[in-house]
Each structure stands twice: as C-alpha cells, then as structure tokens.
Structure 1
Amino acid sequence: MARRNKIAVVGAGNIGGNIGLLCAERRLGDVVLYDIERVAGPTKGKALDINQLNAVRGLDTRLVGTSDFADAEGADVVIVTAGVPRKPGMSRDDLVGVNMPIISDVAEKVKKHTPNAFVIVISNPLDAMVYAMHKVAGLADHMVCGMAGVLDSSRFRFFVSEALDVSIEDVHAVVLGGHGDDMVPLTRLCSVGGVPLESLLPKDKLDAIVDRTRKGGGELVQLFGTGSAYFAPAESAVSMAESYLLDRKRVLPVAARLHGEYGIDGYFFGVPARIGGGGVEKVYEIALDPAEKVMLDKSFHAVKAVVESCKL
C-alpha cells in the first residue's frame, strides 16, 4: 500500500496554521501540528478546523494537533516556525536570546524523532537559527535549510509589479544574503518579461523598492502591531517543501550551508539552490560585480556576528 507523505509543523501559531492549511489544499501529505502543552487546545482546534474544511473541499489530508513531538515520528518534512515573533521596534537579531533555547530544544526533538526529515527553518533570526538547528540536530548539510529568500524575493516582485502596473508573474527577481536589513536584491539580474528591470525604473525609485524590500518584515510588524507576517512566509515554506516532496527541482533562494561558494564556508546564507528529492541538491554561484560583492560581504558579516553571538 502506498504511504502518504508526513509533514510536521513545529509551532502552530499563525504561520503554522496556514502551513497546515496549504499542505492540505495541495495534497502534499498528512500534517502534524505540534506546539507546547500550554497551547495544546488551540493547536488541536486548528487541526480539527482544517479537517472539517477538508469535507467541503473534497480533500483527504488528515491533520493532527499535538503537544507530543513523538507524534511527528518518521516525518518526511519538518517545518520549524517555533519562537517568539518580532514586535514593533525590534530587529530580527533582537530575538537571538529568546529563540535560541527554543530552537535548540526543537533540534533535540528532531534528532530523536525525525532524523531523516528535510528540515525547513523559518524562525528568526533566520540564518542563525538554521545554523543552530543543523549543529544541535546533527543533520546532513543537504537536509536542512532556511526559508527567507523565497519570501524576500516575493516581496521584491510585488513592489516592482505595483510600481510598473504589470503582472507579478512576469517579474523575476534575485535576492541574496542574510534575512535582514543588509539583504542584497540583485537589480542588475532582475527582469520583467525578459526586459531588464534597471531599464524600466529610474534609480531613485528602484533604490526605494530595494529599501522597502529589506525592511518589508518590519513594515508588517508595525502594521500588525502584535506580531509579524504569516500568509506569505507560510506559502514560501510550503513551496520549498513541495519541491522536496515532489522532486520538482525548483531553483529557489534559500539559506543553504555553503562550502566556499561566494567566499563563505560553514555558514548558512541566502543563495539560489536546487531543491529536489535529495534536499538541497545544488548551490548556484552568481558572478557578482564589485559593488554587489561589497553588499554581499556586508550582509555575511552581519550574519556571522549573530551566529557567533549564539556561542554554539
């Protein structure tokens, strides 16, 4: 008998709940929503609510809400959203102290119950948290990565489509670097229906879009007031999980562990990578001009400083 895929979502808040719904809608596999005992009721409630939605949509995916990570045993994919979200006035890096113990605890559980899963980390500060997950859980380099570049690229594409009044489907963007205010949207390589972006917008407007992209998460934190983005991050993570589960081999910007690419070794950093049935199957290195290299180096040094502050 064929076996359904199993997806474990760690953290059943707004992002986690939306991931469960998206996995159900795409028929990617059965879903385990896991969260701590204190929120066991709402976690089970979200799973039950989506199960009841399935009847209306004609979906056979089953969700389980639990506070026992043993229920995730044997999961094919683990998506980690656990941790405290940003509040107004906070940077992602401000979350290191509070989220590091949470991620370390989750990593121990992953090591025990789901050691063979493909792990996607969403928790902030992203590049440091995926580094911690990899080290504590002892995961193979190709079986763990961070979700950030898909989201950052999507934000950039929306802002461009809005500025030019064109379909977002025809906007192609490349965003490299850490998930923070020093990320590097490569405007030189962005295009709209094959037309170079830099020929369509004046430099001042393009610079404004780059700045808004870098601060896109903070803009949403200010608007929400009590939390951070959740619809777009959930969709971004599910697109990565889907590429792994269905061996789609999509080339996506993810925080992958580098081995000399871009002059970086041993750190997780946002780069284009092929995601397929083998996990992170290949990292693509883009030839950068001197100005782009300076920006990328600045982004890496910011990521390195946060990672080193974790004292792992």
Structure 2
Amino acid sequence: MKRNKITVVGAGNVGATAAHWCVAKELGDVVLVDVIEGVPQGKGLDLMQSNPLEGTDCWVKGTNNYEDTADSDVCIVTAGIARKPGMSRDDLLNTNYKIVSSVAENLARYSPNTVIIVVSNPLDVMTYTAWKASGFPANRVFGQAGVLDSARFRTFVAMELGASFEDVNALVLGGHGDTMVSVLSHANVGCIPVTKLIPADRLAEIVKRTANGGAEIVNFLKTGSAFYAPSASAVQMAEAVLKDKKRILPVAAYLNGEYGAKDIYTGVPAIIGGNGVEKVLEIDLTPDEKAGLDYSIQAVRDLMKVVGLGS
C-alpha cells in the first residue's frame, strides 16, 4: 500500500508545527522544504526522531530542493514573511506574492496531481496567486482561513459558556482579515443556537475578538505570530483530502457565481475530499451577514488589484 506523501513548504513555526501534526496523526511521510539551508534538515530529523517515542512511523525529510517533493499527494504552503506588531496582513502582499508564485510553480512542476493548501498571508490573495501560478483546476487549490477563524470563534464561545470546545459549531466566512464575517445565524452549542445562550452585546465582543484573533496573538508574542492553531487548521484540511472525508469546512475556495461573486477566492463552506474542494455550499444568510460578506469580498478584490490579479 502506497503511503501518503505530504509536502510542507516553509520550515518556520507554522510549517514545522504542521509537519508535527501530520506525523502525530500518521497522515503520511513528510517533506519539509525551506530556502534556508540546514533549518528544514535539522527540524525534519528532530521530528523523525520522535517516532520511537510517540509510536508513529513517518519518514520526515528536510530539504532545500523541490525535486524531493515529487509526487506529493498534498502540499501545504506556509512560506512567506510573518506579520510583526503593527503590520497588517495587507502589508505582506507584495513580498509574499512573489514567494507564493515561485512556490506554486515548483510544486506544480514536480507534483502535477497534488492538492495545494495555502496558509500564507494575505490568505485569499495568496490562494488566488497559487492557483494562477500552478495552472491547476481551482478545486485543487484552496486556502486555510475559515477553519482557523471558526476555531477561534468556537474557542471564545466555549470560554464564555464554560462549555466543551467540541460542542460549539460555527462558521466564519469571507476574507481572512478584519472584514471576516462570523455567521451567528448558523452558530450553535450542542444544537442550541448561540444567540439563545449569549447576550447580543457579549456576542458582538466575541465577533470582534475573532476578527482580531491573529493580531491579539501577535501583540502578545511581539516577535512572531500564531502557529499552533493555524497549522492544526491546515492539517485538518489536509486530512480531509488524504482520507477523502467529505468534511464540510469553511475554506478559501474559488467562486464562480456562488454568493454573487466570480473569479475570486474567499472563505465559504465547502465539501472537502480527495479532489480538494468538491462543492461550494451556498447557505442562507441574514441581510446583515450577506452585506458583510459582500463587503469582505470587495476588500479582497481591492487587494488583488494591487498585484494585478482578477478581472
């Protein structure tokens, strides 16, 4: 039986931790790629030496060469510069555009049948960038945004109620940034609508904290950004592909008329399976939620124009 092969591009905190989650879940053998010599090799060897301790059996190869990524089943792209205090996701645009374009071209060259999951920021624009640079069908390139943002919202709701984290269900849609939309009309805790459990003013504060979730962590860390939850989110998406799980997850998917938008990647609920994004799901939104999503989509378009993307 052929073992899955997972490439993780970028051996920084997000990439190395994504590789860790992949090994911990025994999703497959991992190739960790980075431009800095020695870093992926060292982290890869260190991670592989955890196998005897954790009872896992995954090979991990650190490399600076994309040839080692050949025939990967899934590629997780974390490459790019990270945010610093006071830096918005928008500030990352031009630098990461060049990085992600090069990465996607290399991945497509050596793994023409792979599925690419983008984590690099600004997320929605970088996912579109990877799609264009790879030349892949849109369903085989998608981005990690809503899974992370929804996890943050779910965490804050569980904290507010003193409830189990796993009993909170929620969707956060739109662009991965300040304009994201927490869909309260579809949020519940143990099947009970969240609006029945938490007062409107407290919910508004949770929605705001969710939108600023990444910045809150950046401000605490001073010299870095979040990596545990972002990497876990990307690996949940990779697992859905590798195991053909047909998970319904909020991801940055390509829209071709859904939600009234075309030729853009943004956060929407979708069925994720062996073929990547197998179907974008259109759900009913309240007028305020739909207006918020439209505004968020326009914000993504404005960013795309900076680097000449989109129609």
Q: TM-score range by the shorter chain?
A: over 0.9
> Does structure 1 conserve the Cα–Cα contact (< 8 Å) formed by 2:185 and 2:285?
no
Residue 111 of structure 1 and its aligned partner are, at CA, apart by: 2.3
Counterparts of 2:34 and 2:107 in 1: how far apart (Å)?
Answer: 14
Match of residue 300 from structure 2:
303
Match of residue 189 from structure 1:
186
C-alpha distance after superposition, 1:181-227 (max 9, x if no partner): 01000112111111111111111110000000000000011111111
Spell out structure 1 runs of 4+ moving beyond 3 A: none
Residue 3 (structure 1) aligned with residue 2 (structure 2): yes
Aligned residue among 234, 250, 254 for 1:253: 250
Residue 43 of structure 1 and its aligned partner are, at CA, apart by: 1.2
Identity %: 52
C-alpha distance after superposition, 1:264-284 (max 9, x if no partner): 111111000011112110110
Match of residue 91 from structure 2:
94
Match of residue 15 from structure 1:
14
Amino acid at match of 1:48: L
Q: Which runs of 5+ in 2 are unaligned?
A: none
Counterparts of 2:133 and 2:53 in 1: how far apart (Å)?
Answer: 41
Match of residue 228 from structure 1:
225
Counterparts of 1:278 and 1:11 in 2: how far apart (Å)?
Answer: 24
C-alpha distance after superposition, 1:91-130 (max 9, x if no partner): 1111001111101111220221122110000000000000
Counterparts of 1:55 and 1:40 in 2: how far apart (Å)?
Answer: 26
Match of residue 33 from structure 1:
32
Counterparts of 2:3 and 2:248 in 1: how far apart (Å)?
Answer: 25
Residue 274 (structure 1) aligned with residue 271 (structure 2): yes
> Does structure 1 conserve the Cα–Cα contact (< 8 Å) formed by 2:108 and 2:114?
no
> Does structure 2 conserve the Cα–Cα contact (< 8 Å) formed by 1:77 and 1:119?
yes
Residue 147 (structure 1) aligned with residue 127 (structure 2): no
RMSD of equivalent CA atoms: 0.8
> Does structure 1 conserve the Cα–Cα contact (< 8 Å) formed by 2:145 and 2:250?
yes
C-alpha distance after superposition, 1:107-166 (max 9, x if no partner): 220221122110000000000000010011101111010001000000000000101111
Counterparts of 2:31 and 2:144 in 1: how far apart (Å)?
Answer: 19
> Does structure 2 conserve the Cα–Cα contact (< 8 Å) formed by 1:80 and 1:121?
yes
> Does structure 1 conserve the Cα–Cα contact (< 8 Å) formed by 2:255 and 2:263?
yes
> Does structure 1 conserve the Cα–Cα contact (< 8 Å) formed by 2:142 and 2:254?
yes
> Does structure 2 conserve the Cα–Cα contact (< 8 Å) formed by 1:40 and 1:65?
no
Match of residue 178 from structure 1:
175
Match of residue 287 from structure 2:
290
Match of residue 125 from structure 2:
128
Q: Which runs of 5+ in 1 are unaligned?
A: none
| TM-score with structure 1 setting the length | 0.98
Tell me the matched-pair count: 309
Residue 41 of structure 1 and its aligned partner are, at CA, apart by: 1.0
Match of residue 70 from structure 1:
67
> Does structure 2 conserve the Cα–Cα contact (< 8 Å) formed by 1:174 and 1:185?
yes
Aligned residue among 42, 49, 52 for 2:39: 42
Counterparts of 2:199 and 2:276 in 1: how far apart (Å)?
Answer: 39
Residue 174 of structure 1 and its aligned partner are, at CA, apart by: 1.1
Match of residue 163 from structure 1:
160
> Does structure 1 conserve the Cα–Cα contact (< 8 Å) formed by 2:247 and 2:272?
yes
| TM-score with structure 2 setting the length | 0.98
Amino acid at match of 2:23: A
Amino acid at match of 2:128: Y
Counterparts of 2:30 and 2:37 in 1: how far apart (Å)?
Answer: 16
C-alpha distance after superposition, 1:246-294 (max 9, x if no partner): 0111000000001100001111110000111121101100112211111
Residue 303 of structure 1 and its aligned partner are, at CA, apart by: 0.6
> Does structure 2 conserve the Cα–Cα contact (< 8 Å) formed by 1:153 and 1:174?
yes
> Does structure 2 conserve the Cα–Cα contact (< 8 Å) formed by 1:28 and 1:245?
yes
Amino acid at match of 2:170: A
Aligned residue among 202, 220, 225 for 1:205: 202
Secondary structure class of the residue paired with 1:90: coil
Amino acid at match of 1:262: Y
Secondary structure class of the residue paired with 1:257: strand
Counterparts of 1:115 and 1:224 in 2: how far apart (Å)?
Answer: 38
